[in-house]
Amino acid sequence: MKTLGAGKLILPEHTPFAKPLTVQQCMHYALTHPAVASVLIGCKNRAEVLNAVRYLDMSDEELDYAEVLGSLRNDFRGNCVYCSHCQPCPVNIDIATVNKYLDIGRLDKDNVSPSLRSHYQGLSATGRDCIACGSCEARCPFGVEIIKNMAEAELLFSEFIR
Ligand code: SF4
Ligand code: SF4
């Protein structure tokens, strides 16, 4: 899971929400998810390290991310930002990676490159393994239709169907 969504979640110009989350809200979001025991924040200087550890002293109100998460801009809904907040998957599909390959493949469906197909097929679990349990969709803050995407990825990248 990318705690800060590669910085997108904390930057006003890139956030998919009405306002950016704080670094500490991002950390709290990650740490309150199943199977997440720690977060690793990329810091480029001492001030950013000190800012991140302020997490330990903040109140529940300061860490609450619900209001911001509820303000998703409509133009982002349904688009995967590869944050992996939908994990864990019971059959260990790397959902963000499958979605990323799918987004690339969708750019030119009739000419999927052999290397892209090969990368997809090299994953330890693919769309073919999806059991449509729906737990990922319940966790995705961006309203991505993951089950549909897994089926589409399998259709697009499977050598047997095409
Ligand atoms: S499906 Fe949703 S939660 Fe999963 S990586 Fe994409 S945007 Fe993030
Ligand atoms: S719906 Fe499919 S991709 Fe999502 S968690 Fe379940 S098995 Fe994994």
Identify the pLDDT of residue 159.
Answer: 67
Task: Kindly identify the ligand whose nearest atom is closest to the C-alpha of 140.
Answer: 1
Yes or no: say if 126 and 159 are a contact pair by the CB < 8 Å rule: no
CA 38 to ligand 2 centroid distance, Å: 23
Tokens, residue 75: 């133009």
Quick: pLDDT tens for 116-132.
Answer: 999 999 999 999 999 99
What are residue 72's DSSP bridge partners?
Answer: 17
Structure confidence at residue 127 (pLDDT):
97
pLDDT-derived band at 162, boundaries 50, 70, 90: very low
Ligand 2 atom closest to the Cα of residue 135 is: 5
Q: Is the CB of 96 under 6 A from ligand 2?
A: no
**What's the mean pLDDT when you consider all of the chain?**
90
Please say if the pLDDT value at position 59 is more than 70. yes
Question: Is the CB–ligand 2 distance for residue 90 below 6 Å?
Answer: yes
* pLDDT reading at 160 higher than 60: no
User: Which residue puts its alpha carbon closest to atom 8 of ligand 1?
Assistant: 83
**Structural domain spans, the chain:** 8-73, 95-157
Per-residue pLDDT band for 85 (boundaries 50, 70, 90) equals: confident
